[in-house]
Structure 1
Amino acid sequence: MEESRQELIQQLIKIIDGDAYRKGTKKGMCHPEVTNHMMKAAGGRAAFIKQAQIIEKDPVLGRSIKFIPGNLGMDIVQVHCAVEIMPELCSRIGIEDPRVRQLRYIHMMEQWKEKAGGTWLTAYYEDELDRLNRGKCSEQLRKQMDDEQGALYLCLDEMLHLEEPSEKPIFSARVFQNVTGHDGRITPSKRFRKQYQKRVCGIIKDYSPEYIEDMSEDEMLATHGILSYSQTLEWKGRVICTLDDGHVIDTGSLVYGTVLNAKTLEHIESVKLPGIQRILIIENKANYEKMEFNENELYVFCHGFFSPKEVRVLKKIEESAGEAIKYEHWGDLDYGGIRIFQYNKSEVFAELHPYKMDQDTYCQAIENGAGVPLEEGKRRKLEMLDAGMLESLKNSILTQGMEIEQELLI
């Protein structure tokens, strides 16, 4: 296509393009008025008129595009353009017809939906398909589909079909080892964290039933099998762990605390709890550090939401514990503390009870000036939350309009 016609053809494509065209329902003629913006985009008034004259003389384009003169033939005031000429316009300047592109995206999204196989990701793909079928096509979607070669969907698919938890760099390298066209300065093992983690977490937050309010990105990913190397399980107390290679770890001599990394957690096969009568989960690190070693108690530090590997070991602890063992959780007197308690009761220790998370403790803390104002967003979430065993704490927070973090009680 000659350079002298490209700018105006690009303008005509923009005029025809839109939700209705991409949806396949736009027919007939377009009759846009010529604006200063259109002329400027075509290189100015003189260039616009020259390009219009060339197009009208074109044996194919001229049958479907007419320019209406004005000002005694010295100007162009309107364009009559048949929608059906769009494929030819796109062909002339070497771009993909937006309707053809839309159908290609729909086909690709249907394939990803099929791979999701009725899992929670199906709802995400259905929403994306609904937008595409209505003719919607954002720049972000075009980037994901074409510039990034569907890498976001590769990440989602790999995450969904993980057979066992995977460290984040290994997961990233597995997804991107054969994906080309990306910034070569970012290695495959770092690409997920740098370019896709935030988007994947946004989808988890909106669609996954495993998401719990106030989870960090690492916690969201961990519940879906993508682990950070920093994940550890920390406790004070005597636990005898037998690894799958037969080695035994007895933490009874580590009176200042035990920290087990993700790899060790992965290889713990069984545990014993000699003498332990009480297990206390502590959400605040300073309070955890202040607890003295007690041969009858196990203090577990809770950094937030436990990862799958941590939950796996804690469930082994629950399985080996006697019925007389008492399970308690000491958390913040706020929305996040209530949610973490509920998660630990649901996913970790079924017999878990709150410790120092009652109405009296809350009121005493308020009297001591330890409260911080409750944000309006959290208030709305609290009002809708079934707090279960912590319903009285929830009502106190709503009544007083104040939350309390453990740090304020130290």
Structure 2
Amino acid sequence: MISNFEKEIINRLIDKYEKSKSFTGDNKVNQRFTIKIPSLFPKYNDHSEYELFEALNDSIDTLVKKSFVIAKANSAHVYSTVTLNVDKLAEIYKYVGRQEKKDINNSILEILANYKERNQILNLYCTSQNERIDSNKSIQFFNDDLLELENILLAVDELLKVDTETFVRDFSVKVFKDSKVFERIAGKVVNLIYEYGDFPEKDKVLGNLNIIKNPTYVNFKGPGSIFIKEQRLDLTNFRGDLAVSSIMLSDIDKIDITGKAVITIENLTSFHTFSDKEMFAIYLGGYHNSVRREFIKKLHQQNSQKAFFHFGDIDAGGFKILEHLKHDTGIDFIPYKMEIETLEAYRKYTKKLTENDKKRLLKLVDGQYHNVVKYMLDNNCKLEQEALNVE
């Protein structure tokens, strides 16, 4: 029976081989794949660890006898290095029960081909992984489990089709016939969608895609009335906001805005502190999901003569949310306090741009908000909307 020491030595050597140009066939010189035994097993030269020394020597001797490795030892039979015999690779893979990387890559390529055209996020991911395979780089979100990889891609495919609020458990049962599968891969799924999609906040990706642990509530306040099952509720003189759950949205018959405008607000703190008796305010919570989107669209249909504003962070994410809101609702939202004047007025509260901020802003520099975006890049600044409440 193969020993753990044998497995450790062989797997380390194969790892080095599979990361090399010899594996891809691009090598111009013969490569040797060697490990230093004292580095891999620090206690090997510890005289108090004689049993470990003997067991490790026996394992190396076995590998040498099988011609799997070439080992270098001194006169006291103390090994210094072990080198892989690449002429015996097929036998070596079989001996340690390891699947050859080229076979794994072929299986991955088949999976990628099956999912590549299903949506834009999967297309970008699959294209990138094809390039990584060609360059002999590791596959993102793959941990030597082909079934898990396919489940991750299936989840991404199905998530982008969800158009009504769905509980996490119910989504898992529907897609995988198992209530726990999605929970186990959710972290990798979210990371993939966040990296290859267009979402400003990773922790809100699932909520934006209508996958929830609890029902969504739409918070709103301001001058207007809401009619629910023919009952009228006047919000104009309310001191705070009202929240309606996603379950109740279909019961709303009409929303009548009596003020001059409607405003969506990205941040919850800013929503609660916002005060304008002429504006009906809705808490957006980052990217809107289908619940908030349908509420806003219904409100616009019944109050199309009103102006619609959006108040968000003055950063790449804030402008992305605004564009997303305009695109998915068909409403021409006007930026509210998201201009150069606000940045200058609250200069002492601005923050410096991260490298990621700069990359995202550069993609917006030629767009509709080019003046403020260029100002942010030139002055290395961004502003969270909560800062407008500090004075």
TM norm. shorter chain > 0.5: yes
Q: Is the 8 A contact 2:164 2:290 kept in 1?
A: no
Residues 391 and 173 of structure 1, relative CA distance in 2, 3 Å threshold: same
Q: Which residue is equivalent to 2:203?
A: 217
The question of 1:51 aligning with 2:62 is answered yes
What residue number does 1:81 align with? 85
Do the aligned partners of residues 37 and 26 (structure 1) sit closer, same or farther apart at CA in structure 2, a change above 3 Å counting? Answer: farther
Contact 2:268 2:283 in 1 (8 A): yes
Q: Is residue 196 of structure 1 aligned with residue 182 of structure 2?
A: no
**CA distance in 1: counterparts of 2:269 and 2:82, whole angstroms:** 73
5 Å-filtered alignment, 1:218-297, equals: 218=204, 220-229=205-214, 231-236=216-221, 237-241=223-227, 247-248=229-230, 250-253=232-235, 255=238, 256-265=240-249, 267=250, 271-273=254-256, 275-286=258-269, 288-289=271-272, 297=279
Query: In structure 2, what is the Cα distance between the partners aligned to 1:87 and 1:150?
Result: 27
Unaligned runs of 5+ in 1: 57-64, 179-186
Supply the distance in 2 between the matched residues of 1:11 and 1:355 (Cα, whole angstroms). 58
Distance (whole Å) between structure 2 residues aligned to residue 168 and residue 39 of structure 1: 43
Structure 2 vs 1, CA of residues 100 and 290 (structure 1 numbering), >3 Å: closer, same or farther? closer
In structure 2, what is the Cα distance between the partners aligned to 1:226 and 1:217? 12
| 1:129-148 correspondence runs (5 A) | 129-137=130-138, 141-145=142-146, 148=148
Stretches of structure 2 that go unaligned for 5 or more consecutive residues are 45-51
What secondary structure does 2:365 align onto? coil
1:371 aligned to which of 332, 349, 365: 349
Distance 1:79 1:353 in 2: 67
Aligned to 1:60: none
Amino acid at match of 2:133: L
- % same residue: 16
Q: 1:312 to 1:275 in 2, by over 3 A?
A: same
> 2:364 matched to 1:385?
yes
Cα distance in structure 1, aligned partners of 2:346 and 2:24? 59
Q: Is the 8 A contact 1:241 1:270 kept in 2?
A: yes
Q: SS of the residue aligned with 1:298? A: strand
Task: Flag the 1:251–1:125 CA change in 2: closer, same or farther, 3 A.
Answer: farther
Structure 1 residue 95 corresponds to structure 2 residue 73 = no
Whole-angstrom CA distance in 1 between matches of 2:4 and 2:342: 78
The more displaced of 20-29 and 344-353 is: 20-29
User: Hey, what does 2:294 align to over in structure 1?
Assistant: 312
The alpha-carbon deviation at position 36 of structure 1 amounts to 3.8
- Say if 1:30 and 1:37 are closer, same or farther in 2 by CA, change over 3 A: farther
Matches of 2:292 and 2:333 in 1, distance apart? Answer: 16
RMSD: 4.4
Task: Return closer, same or farther for 1:387/1:278 CA change in 2, 3 Å cut-off.
Answer: farther
TM-score (norm 2): 0.73
Q: CA deviation at 1:312?
A: 1.5
Number of the residue aligned with 1:155:
155
Displacement of 1:390: 4.6
- TM-score scaled by length of structure 1: 0.70
